[in-house]
Amino acid sequence: MRKGQMTLEFLFIFAVGMVLLLYSVNSATFQRGQSSTTSLNLKICLDEKNLASTISDAITQVYSQGPGAKVTAFASLSYLSNLAFVERATGLSNPRIFITYGQLANMSYNGTIVGLYGSNGGLVFGGDNRNTFWERGMFQKNLTANSSVWNPSSSVDGYYGISIDPAAVPSHLKIVVEWNPVKPVEWVYNSTSGTLYINIREG
């Protein structure tokens, strides 16, 4: 009887221990996954901000030099160019990268806007789910209402710009900005060469 009691007690303690162990493993796994997703989302946001900054810096450099100036820059997009990463981090279905230039919402100055949107969500400018970033540029034109500037041209949340599949963006995006007075203002993304071409001009 006593031996039987000890066996039952041992089995009970063993069962409780297993339950606690399984709970601990599941909890730790969930927390690691959550932390991993948060970290991934942060890296994607940094890629977006870096892209906006790189474009605006190149535009400002060309604008300050005047007609005939030309600059080539590269933006590192290791995470933003990975479709699976973007889907996992943002929860967006069919995510797309949106690029435009000008003023959105309550902005006081023109600049490059880089954001993400999908079939289940649009551009978000603040809060925990922020997915859109802005960097000021010296070029004094608001191009968000002009569909003819963008190639390919897309409209997102009422603003015109370029919409790109993350899978069609290289991890090191080439950005060419020039001030050619003979050509119109234009932004063209070539998915074959992985190059974003921008022409600015006054008038």
Mean pLDDT of the chain: 86
| Range 119-148 average pLDDT | 91
> Taking a C-beta distance cutoff of 8 angstroms, is the pair 78, 168 a contact?
no
Bigger pLDDT: 19 vs 63: 63
* Look-up of token digits 């551009």: 123
For 34, phi then psi, to 5°, come to: -65, -45
pLDDT higher than threshold 70 for residue 33: no
For 69, phi then psi, to 5°, come to: -75, 150
- Tens-digit pLDDT profile for residues 58-117: 999 999 999 999 999 999 999 999 999 999 999 999 999 999 999 876 777 899 999 999
Query: What single DSSP character describes residue 118?
Result: B
Q: Name the residue type at position 161.
A: G
> Rounded to an integer, what distance in angstroms lies between the CA atom of residue 26 and that of residue 11?
22
Residue 6's Cβ-count burial label (10 Å; 0-12, 13-18, 19+) is exposed
Residue 35's Cβ-count burial label (10 Å; 0-12, 13-18, 19+) is exposed
Confidence band of 5 (pLDDT split at 50, 70, 90) = low
pLDDT at residue 56, rounded to an integer: 97
pLDDT at residue 108, rounded to an integer: 78
> Rounded to an integer, what distance in angstroms lies between the CA atom of residue 52 and that of residue 118?
19
Q: Please choose, from the candidates 114, 127, 115, 117, the residue with its C-alpha nearest in 3D space to the C-alpha of residue 93.
A: 117
| Range 155-167 average pLDDT | 95
> Rounded to an integer, what distance in angstroms lies between the CA atom of residue 62 and that of residue 200?
8
pLDDT higher than threshold 70 for residue 32: no
